[in-house]
Each structure stands twice: as structure tokens, then as C-alpha cells.
């Protein structure tokens, strides 16, 4: 995961992006949800496509770790999902605490990770808009057995620097 040189804002807000390229995002969400298996430990990132993926969750027992309030709001009432919300801050003074907390919370779990990205470039890699986001993604991705990047065509061929 590439981190930006500075905090940047790319494109539309989360709420506005939810309706952007909706049919394509629903196709991606449906397909990726079919890969989830009973009893898995998942990390679900902040992403409009990931939020749509929750519509297609099968009725199964899962453990979900997330840094996304919208994901938490969708899943917290489901009795079959053990939900862990990793809280952090975009303030520089607490960003290290968030990463250490995440590494210490789940050292023995093998997680399947689902990520969103602000931009994806073949040579530069996937990018996040804020440094803390990139750091969290790198940390979680490094400790995973599997990782999926959910991105529609509007993200490809772009980079944040």
C-alpha cells in the first residue's frame, strides 16, 4: 500500500460515492461475498463497494474486524457475527497506537482481508487518501493469508502522490 506524501482528498465523499457506478459495484460485491466461508475471520476496510458486499453475506458465523463505522452499523445487530471495531484517530499522535493495537489484537488469527482503494496504478500500487489509512492497510495486509482489493474501473490507472 502506497501512502500519500500528504493528506489529499480524491473525488467525492463516501456518501456521494455510494451511488457512483452502482451496477458495477454490486457485481463486484456479489462475487466477492461468494468467497466468504463459514467461521472465517475477516477484516473489512472502509469502502463503498465493501458496504454493498454486506447485502450478499450468507447466513453464517463470522468474526469481523473493521475500521469502518458504516460496516459496524450494518453488522452489529447480526447475532452470528462477532464484531470487533478497531478505533483509531487520524491525529498523528495516536496513529501508531492504532497500528500497535491492531497487531496485538489478532496475532494468531488468519484473516481474509477486503480492501477498498482510492486509486490503483500498475507500477505504483494501490493508494489511500490519508497516511493513516495506508498504514492500517499495510499492517492488516502483511498479517493476512488472503487479501481482496475491491475496485471498480474508475480507480484504475490513477495514483495518489
Q: Which residues contact 59 (CB under 8 A, 6 or more apart)?
A: 80
pLDDT digits (tens, 9 = 90+) for 20-79: 678 899 999 999 999 999 999 998 888 888 899 999 988 999 999 888 888 889 999 999
- DSSP summary character for residue 125: E
pLDDT digits (tens, 9 = 90+) for 102-161: 656 555 566 888 877 777 778 877 777 777 777 777 777 777 788 888 888 878 787 776
Among candidate residues 153, 128, 156, the one with its CA nearest the CA of residue 28: 153
Q: How many CB atoms lie within 10 A of CB 104?
A: 8
Q: Which residues contact 8 (CB under 8 A, 6 or more apart)?
A: 129, 130, 160
Using CB atoms within 10 Å of the CB of residue 127, give its burial: 0 to 12 exposed, 13 to 18 middle, 19+ buried: buried
The pLDDT assigned to 108 comes to 59
Give the 3-state secondary structure of residue 63: strand
Q: How far apart are CA 90 and CA 153, in angstroms?
A: 28
The pLDDT assigned to 38 comes to 94
Contact 127, 119 (CB under 8 A): yes
| C-alpha cell belonging to residue 61 | 458465523
The pLDDT assigned to 47 comes to 84
Amino acid at each position: 500500500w502506497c501512502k500519500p506524501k500528504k493528506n489529499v482528498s480524491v473525488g467525492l465523499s463516501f456518501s456521494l460515492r455510494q451511488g457512483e457506478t452502482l451496477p458495477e459495484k454490486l457485481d463486484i460485491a456479489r462475487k466477492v461475498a461468494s468467497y466468504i466461508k463459514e467461521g472465517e475471520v475477516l477484516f473489512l476496510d472502509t469502502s463503498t463497494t465493501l458496504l454493498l458486499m454486506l447485502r450478499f453475506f450468507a447466513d453464517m458465523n463470522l468474526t469481523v474486524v473493521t475500521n469502518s463505522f458504516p460496516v459496524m452499523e450494518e453488522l452489529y445487530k447480526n447475532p452470528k457475527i462477532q464484531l470487533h471495531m478497531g478505533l483509531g484517530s487520524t491525529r498523528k499522535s495516536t496513529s501508531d497506537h492504532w497500528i500497535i493495537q491492531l497487531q496485538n489484537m489478532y496475532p494468531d488469527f488468519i484473516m481474509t482481508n477486503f480492501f477498498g482503494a482510492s486509486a490503483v496504478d500498475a507500477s505504483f500500487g494501490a493508494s489511500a487518501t490519508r497516511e493513516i489509512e495506508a498504514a492500517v492497510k499495510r499492517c492488516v495486509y502483511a498479517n493476512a493469508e488472503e487479501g481482496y482489493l475491491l475496485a471498480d474501473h474508475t480507480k484504475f490507472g490513477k495514483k495518489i502522490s
